[in-house]
Amino acid sequence: MAKKWVYLFDEGSADMRELLGGKGANLAEMTKIGLPVPQGFTITTEACTQYYEDGRKINDEIMNQAMEGVKKMEEINGKKFGDPINPLLVSVRSGARASMPGMMDTILNLGLNDKVVATMIAGNPDPKFKRFVYDSYRRFIQMFSDVVMGVGKKYFEELIDKMKAQKGVQYDVELTASDLKALAQQFKAEYKNQLGKDFPSDPVEQLKLAIEAVFRSWDNPRANVYRRDNDIPYSWGTAVNVMPMVFGNLNDESGTGVAFTRDPATGEKKLMGEFLINAQGEDVVAGVRTPMPISQMEKEFPEAYAEFIKVCGILEDHYHDMQDMEFTVENKKLYMLQCRNGKRTAPAALQIACDLVDEGHKTEEEAVAMIDPRNLDTLLHPQFDTKALKKATPLGKGLGASPGAACGKVVFTAEDAEKWAANGEKVVLVRLETSPEDITGMKVAQGILTVRGGMTSHAAVVARGMGTCCVSGCGDIQMDEENKKFTLGGKTFKEGSQISIDGTTGNIYAGIIPTVDASITGTFGRVMAWADKYRKLKVRTNADTPADAKKAHELGAEGIGLCRTEHMFFDPKRIEAFREMICSDTEEEREIALDKILPYQQSDFKALYEALEGDPVTIRFLDPPLHEFVPTDEADIKKLADVKGKTVEEIKALCASLHEFNPMMGHRGCRLAVTYPSIAKMQTKAVIRAALEVKAAHPDWNVKPEIMIPLVCDTKELKFVKKIVVDTADAEIAAAGVDVEYEVGTMIEIPRAALTADEIAADADFFCFGTNDLTQMTYGFSRDDSGKFLNAYYDTKIFENDPFAKLDQTGVGKLMETAIKLGKPVNPKLHVGICGEHGGDPSSVEFCHRIGLDYVSCSPFRVPIARLAAAQAAIAQKKEIFKELAKSNPEYAWALKTK
């Protein structure tokens, strides 16, 4: 039996998301529950995969099934595809299983040609109908040319602007039928001028090319960037949805809109959206015209509005989540074109989660599972200082489309945003309106400001998804893109001018306004309490200073998983002493120099213990190669030479001798302690003396330092360094006459250490995976240089993600799993964590939960992300266990279907 590549909407359901994509599954589900959906069909995500396997071609079997779908649509709608008398016009839309707003392509009004247009007009003498037909035709030519054939839309926009200027009008809707007819002919001429061939008139050819274009858009640059940023696998592919057109641009009794059942910026339970009369969907989303609020639809189309309100309630009750909907009204009749769980800001996500629990829609576990952990990052970003804000006067105001504060230098293109940001400049991207091509510039910008567009424009939706501050629809801006300047409130801003924007209020200010850390209370605390209730993984922080440790503790860190002691050495007084140690000729000289550093290190560790109030603190002993500490400035070299009684040339020669061809695999980590035991002795004394001091001041605290030996590759290395640590620590404790416990463990960051973890575990109290180095050494990539070639790996689909940002679960993950399986049977008390950057990445946290780690450690501001991700991992695992049990026990199957 032939594979099924095409499903009618009435053949699908919401649980077929993987096959039908999000849009297709939801159209099928809306059909199933009786909502007014134009009946069409979905070409599956598997067909997309097949398209790429077949060399980017649609095979005959898929196309034949698509044409069968068209026949079914003809029967349902009483119209015929390509028939000039009673034509069926269709839309062709993308629909991946994960929402990717604006990243892929859509074609509307497909099926029009000169003959169909002429016949439609001949059958209806109404001048308004004639205008509608030509409006639809010119839109189709422009969209098809741009999306399907790659003819840039700028050519057509220039023709539209020229026509409006000639006619003395401001908006497209003011152009007459004859104007639009002329434009359609000009568009076709431009198409031929650009491609050297006529615009395709055969509707079947148009359909095939459009389907191919949607499949092709899965691999366009903006979609690839979005997928990488949102952990969406390339292998998923996109579905294609083909459905009959309903026309919001038919007349003044028609329109189109986008709405949310709750405010996506705040989470408030109120209908929020926008609507345009006599328009098609892309007019709202693209921000070509600034729309009216959804509430005004009640006045214009009361019956359709009443039905829409009813539909909103049905969808929220059905999906138990805030819905983002696209709809069209044709001749006062409502049609639903899309619904999905709406993108939302982090504050809105927390508010909605809490409200849905209170309203009985969700359990606590379900509420925790529905929040994207990465979005919490935006809660912790700065806001404008209230006092400074009161003194500032806004020059203008737009729509507060995505909350937060942003200030920086004005740039006018995505390319410039990337260039300036790469040079370390903070930029605000200012555009007439953004388009999906701007995604890379939007990503690096501190904020986005647009002249056109509303709360559901491309800029607003994408900015909210990225957690980037955005102000949209500031129509008072007089833009001069060509000369890279704009005027607002009597002030001219040029490229490089300083500007501040408030994504909450929509206010725009000249200059830089100071910012302050965001405060996180209320719903944040409630959701985090739920997360802590269900997670199994502990969450620690990577912190080297008391300020970082204190902030992390406030954000819920349960200890320090990594304190990099080398960061403490760069204070001017300490670095001088450490350089003296490096340039010493004898062990005695080295100890004298290190004794100068000892009080500083002791003070540092004491402050960290106090900040953590008895929670565990893992202190990694010196890790970097010594050449990173030597002087390079002539004055510093001379000063060091004088102190050590050496010549400048001798110091320079010694410094030069420390440089290595491959320092990341050179004389560093535990190798330093093997070569210079006095370093390990000094650091041990500082760790233990600080612990004794804090223990005396706070006898109720459980002060138990964890000393971590880095870069171990052999058990004999660990034994050697551990003996130095234990002998020194025990002597300090005996001398103090106070009992303090401590542990000695190691970082697993060399593949050999993972593979011999059973041997190493015999002498280690704990393992901590240093996945930055473990990734580097497993791949053989330098993490400092890999950025130069990784883009080529993304483009060729060798990699989908940066392995230094998202844990490689297949290779590096296998080494981690091996180390745990080898180490724990040898030492059942062995506790295991991770302290690389991956400790704050949600998918990596989920993996750490799955393989049985005890904790993850991450930077302070990622602690809430890790807490939430850890809870989601535990909840997901519990659900999987129930699913397995349900296969053999009906009671568990019933439990899965109920809350």
Dihedral angle of Cα 765, 541, 545, 670, to the nearest 10 degrees: 40
Identify the sign of the CA torsion 726, 750, 560, 577: positive
The string of DSSP codes covering 506-563 is -EEEES---EEPPP--THHHHHHHHHHHH--SEEEEE-SSHHHHHHHHHTT--SEEEE
CB 400 within 8 A of CB 504: yes
> Whole-angstrom Cα distance, residue 684 to residue 667?
20
Residue where the block lists tokens 């359990």 = 363
- C-alpha pair distances (Å), 80 with each of 75, 87, 153, 331: 8, 5, 30, 21
The 8-class DSSP code of residue 739 comes to -
List the alpha helices (DSSP H) in 624-763: 634-644, 648-658, 670-675, 677-697, 715-736, 751-755, 757-761
CB atoms under 10 Å from CB of 600, counted, come to 16
Written as six digits, the tokens of 578 are 């450490």
CB 751 within 8 A of CB 775: no
Q: Active-site residue numbers? A: 458, 835
Written as six digits, the tokens of 235 are 């292998």
Report the amino acid identity of residue 855. Y
Sequence-distant (6+) residues with CB within 8 A of 502 are 384, 389, 400, 405, 469, 471, 508, 509
> Whole-angstrom Cα distance, residue 822 to residue 758?
5
Report the amino acid identity of residue 616. P
> Whole-angstrom Cα distance, residue 634 to residue 870?
50
Q: Closest Cα to residue 352, out of 339, 364, 367, 334?
A: 367
> Whole-angstrom Cα distance, residue 416 to residue 441?
8
CB 45 within 8 A of CB 20: yes
> Whole-angstrom Cα distance, residue 749 to residue 776?
9
> Whole-angstrom Cα distance, residue 535 to residue 530?
9
The 8-class DSSP code of residue 632 comes to -
CB 590 within 8 A of CB 584: yes
The rounded Cα 406 to chain-centroid distance in angstroms is 18
Q: In sequence order, what are the beta bridge partners of 834?
A: 769, 856
